[in-house]
């Protein structure tokens, strides 16, 4: 069954076509014997309906194709391209329709004129003008719809980003996190004061990073990895022998940015959902792939008793990336490993611009 939206769309288009046709009909000088239901009137109505629907539907199809091709954005260049292709489709069809009606089937269509070439030029020119106006109107409609959707999406993403910042900060400075860190520190003070001093320094570094960057959604990869080094140091001390976390980054971290705390969130995700001990350590590796992505992978020791995962952390990272790039965050499980591949963003990246229409 046809959807209500489709029925509504065609209903509105049929209404517009009929209104436009009647308005044009009123502006044309007719013979006294002409009636709306003679062969000529029926031909012009049917041809107008066909050409209007052809231009409209082909324009919709071309716009959808262009949007998919460039990742959901119809910019000025794409709009001009759609316009030219649309005209290349519709103008020859219009010329063919009126040529056949005037020169080949003139007896059937009852188009009896003294100068058939003049009649052809008038009909073709009128169809070209109306088709051009229709395509331009439809492109503006799609651009406005896209602008509205992008604004809504960006507002939602901004709200989610702010929520993410708050949750990340809250998780890091929560009493639970601080309690565990202080417990570890207390033990170290009796066992190894030098290590305890180092632990305090790393703890301060983590808090300073979080507080300094709580308003930033993107940070340099260098800052994130420096913070992660301190975080990994603390986790290794707390879970001595049960964790093995290593970074293998072969690119210049100053040249790229990533969402704030995204690496830490992925490490935390592995710790949260896996069992680990000295007998069965959890191995987490952070590896750069060429110059466009990082892989965070861990061996799977899935906890036997655990709450059903909501995957909110991973979804949050996906949404934050979608604000800046069309590259996808790839999540996969294979050969006993859980892998998350995140894109590396150039340091001069800008936020997604709302569609520009000039």
Taking only the tens place, the pLDDT of each residue in 90-117 is: 999 999 988 888 888 877 777 767 788 8
Average pLDDT on 257-281 reads 87
- Banded model confidence at residue 342, pLDDT cuts 50, 70, 90: very high
Single residue among 152, 184, 208 that ends a domain in this structure: 152
- In this structure, the answer to whether residues 148 and 190 fall within a common structural domain is no
What pLDDT is attached to residue 220? Answer: 92
- In this structure, the answer to whether residues 178 and 283 fall within a common structural domain is yes
CB 139 within 8 A of CB 83: yes
Inter-residue long-range contacts of 212-216, CB under 8 Å, 24+ positions, other chains counted: 213/260, 214/165, 214/169, 215/165, 216/260
What pLDDT is attached to residue 92? Answer: 92
CA distance 296 to 247: 9
Torsions phi, psi for 244 (to 5 deg): -140, 100
- In this structure, the answer to whether residues 233 and 268 fall within a common structural domain is yes
- In this structure, the answer to whether residues 235 and 340 fall within a common structural domain is yes
Is the pLDDT at 144 greater than 60, yes or no?
Answer: yes
Asked if residue 160 belongs to a domain, the reply is no
Asked if residue 59 belongs to a domain, the reply is yes
- In this structure, the answer to whether residues 120 and 246 fall within a common structural domain is no
Residue range 274-315, pLDDT digits in tens: 888 888 899 999 999 888 899 999 998 887 755 556 566 788
Place of tokens 């308003």: 215
CB 131 within 8 A of CB 74: no
- Is 187 exposed, middle or buried, given 0-12, 13-18 or 19+ CB atoms closer than 10 A? middle
Single residue among 152, 182, 201 that ends a domain in this structure: 152
Phi-psi region of 100 (alpha: psi -120 to 50; beta: other; left: phi over 0): alpha
Q: At CA 50, angle to CA 47 and CA 52, rounded to 5?
A: 105
Asked if residue 166 belongs to a domain, the reply is no
What pLDDT is attached to residue 174? Answer: 56
Which percentage of the chain shows pLDDT scores above 70? 82
Q: Which two tokens stand for residue 173?
A: 């400075």
Asked if residue 315 belongs to a domain, the reply is yes
Asked if residue 352 belongs to a domain, the reply is no
Which percentage of the chain shows pLDDT scores above 90? 15
CB 49 within 8 A of CB 94: no
Average pLDDT on 307-329 reads 77
- In this structure, the answer to whether residues 195 and 321 fall within a common structural domain is yes
Q: What is the mean pLDDT of the chain?
A: 80
Is the pLDDT at 169 greater than 70, yes or no?
Answer: no
- In this structure, the answer to whether residues 53 and 103 fall within a common structural domain is yes
Strand-pairing partners, residue 295, are: 287, 341
Widest CA span in the chain: 111
**Predicted model pTM:** 0.54
Q: Which two tokens stand for residue 234?
A: 């603390």
Asked if residue 18 belongs to a domain, the reply is yes
What pLDDT is attached to residue 159? Answer: 67
Comparison of pLDDT for 9 and 341, the residue scoring more: 341
Give the H or E element holding residue 245: strand 243-248
- Banded model confidence at residue 353, pLDDT cuts 50, 70, 90: very low
What pLDDT is attached to residue 295? Answer: 94
Asked if residue 82 belongs to a domain, the reply is yes
Comparison of pLDDT for 354 and 211, the residue scoring more: 211
Is the pLDDT at 72 greater than 70, yes or no?
Answer: no
- Banded model confidence at residue 207, pLDDT cuts 50, 70, 90: confident
Asked if residue 158 belongs to a domain, the reply is no
Is the pLDDT at 27 greater than 70, yes or no?
Answer: no
- In this structure, the answer to whether residues 147 and 178 fall within a common structural domain is no
Where do runs of H (alpha helix) occur along the chain? 4-27, 39-69, 76-99, 106-109, 116-172, 175-191, 193-212, 221-238, 262-273, 312-322
Give the H or E element holding residue 259: strand 256-259
- In this structure, the answer to whether residues 70 and 196 fall within a common structural domain is no
- In this structure, the answer to whether residues 225 and 104 fall within a common structural domain is no
**Which CATH number goes with the domain that contains 184?**
3.30.565.10
- In this structure, the answer to whether residues 100 and 179 fall within a common structural domain is no
Query: Domain count of the chain?
Result: 2
Single residue among 152, 185, 217 that ends a domain in this structure: 152
Strand-pairing partners, residue 345, are: 257
Is the pLDDT at 341 greater than 90, yes or no?
Answer: yes
Residue range 170-197, pLDDT digits in tens: 554 556 667 778 888 888 888 888 889 9
CA distance 168 to 313: 10
- In this structure, the answer to whether residues 177 and 147 fall within a common structural domain is no
Q: Which two tokens stand for residue 43?
A: 């031909």
Average pLDDT on 11-39 reads 69
CB 274 within 8 A of CB 300: yes
Residue 346, classed as helix, strand or coil, is: strand
Q: What is the residue range of 238's domain?
A: 173-346
Residue 338, classed as helix, strand or coil, is: strand
């Amino acid at each position: 069954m046809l959807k209500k939206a489709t029925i509504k769309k065609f209903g509105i288009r049929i209404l517009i076509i009929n209104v436009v046709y009647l308005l044009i009909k009123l502006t044309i000088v007719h013979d006294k014997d002409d009636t709306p239901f003679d062969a000529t009137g029926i031909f012009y109505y049917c041809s107008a309906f066909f050409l209007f629907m052809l231009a409209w539907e082909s324009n919709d199809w071309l716009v959808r194709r262009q949007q998919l091709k460039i990742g959901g954005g119809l910019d000025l260049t794409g709009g001009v391209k759609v316009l030219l292709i649309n005209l290349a489709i519709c103008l020859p069809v219009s010329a063919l329709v009126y040529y056949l009606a005037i020169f080949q089937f003139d007896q059937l269509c009852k188009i009896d004129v003294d100068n058939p070439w003049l009649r052809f030029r008038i009909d073709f020119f009128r169809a070209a003008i109306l088709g051009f106006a229709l395509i331009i109107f439809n492109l503006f409609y799609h651009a406005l719809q896209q602008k509205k959707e992008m604004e809504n999406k960006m507002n939602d993403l901004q709200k989610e980003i702010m929520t993410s910042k708050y949750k990340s900060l809250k998780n890091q400075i929560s009493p639970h996190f601080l309690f565990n860190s202080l417990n570890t520190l207390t033990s170290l003070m009796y066992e190894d004061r030098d290590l305890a001093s180092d632990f305090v320094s790393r703890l301060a570094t983590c808090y300073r990073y979080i507080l300094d960057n709580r308003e930033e959604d993107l940070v340099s990869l260098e800052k994130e990895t420096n913070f992660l080094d301190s975080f990994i140091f603390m986790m290794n001390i707390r879970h001595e022998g049960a964790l093995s976390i290593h970074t293998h980054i072969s690119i210049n971290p100053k040249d790229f940015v990533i969402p704030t705390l995204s690496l830490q969130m992925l490490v935390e995700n592995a710790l949260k959902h896996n069992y680990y001990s000295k007998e069965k350590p959890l191995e987490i590796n952070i590896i750069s792939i060429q110059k466009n992505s990082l892989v965070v992978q861990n061996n799977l020791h899935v906890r036997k008793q655990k709450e059903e995962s909501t995957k909110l952390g991973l979804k949050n990272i996906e949404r934050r990336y979608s604000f800046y790039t069309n590259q996808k965050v790839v999540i996969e499980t294979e050969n006993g490993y859980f892998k998350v591949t995140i894109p590396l963003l150039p340091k001069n990246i800008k936020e997604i611009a709302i569609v520009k229409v000039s």
